[in-house]
Amino acid sequence: MLCDVCKGNIKPRLNESGAVVWDKGHNADPLSFIPNARCCDVCNEYVLQARLQIMFAISDPKTMQSGKKRSCKRQLNIIHHCIDQALQGY
Ligand SMILES: [Zn+2]
């Protein structure tokens, strides 16, 4: 299975006997615009960062006062920044 963010392979998770217990990686939202996107362990770090940064941006009173449109643009900027960071790691 390929990561929808970096297009690299998603490493399957194995149990102690080496059998595959999970091979679908992580939920890539919001770092991919594909529905139900999946991502690898490395990209998941950036996914978590993006979620936290968006959460802080939304709870920032300055963002709230400046209206929904700007808040969406800021979220998109955060998403693109985190995608760039994820792709630079390869
Ligand atoms: Zn990846």
CA 31 to ligand 1 center in whole angstroms:
10
Give yes or no for a contact between 78 and 52, defined as CB atoms under 8 angstroms apart: no
CA 89 to ligand 1 center in whole angstroms:
9
Q: Model confidence at 68, in pLDDT bands (50, 70, 90)? A: low
Please write the tens of the pLDDT for every residue from 20-49. 999 999 999 999 888 999 999 999 999 999
DSSP state of 14: E
Give yes or no for a contact between 44 and 26, defined as CB atoms under 8 angstroms apart: yes
CA 6 to ligand 1 center in whole angstroms:
4
Give yes or no for a contact between 51 and 16, defined as CB atoms under 8 angstroms apart: no
The whole-chain average pLDDT of the chain stands at 86
Q: How many CB atoms lie within 10 A of CB 48?
A: 13
CA dist., res. 62 & res. 60, Å (int): 5
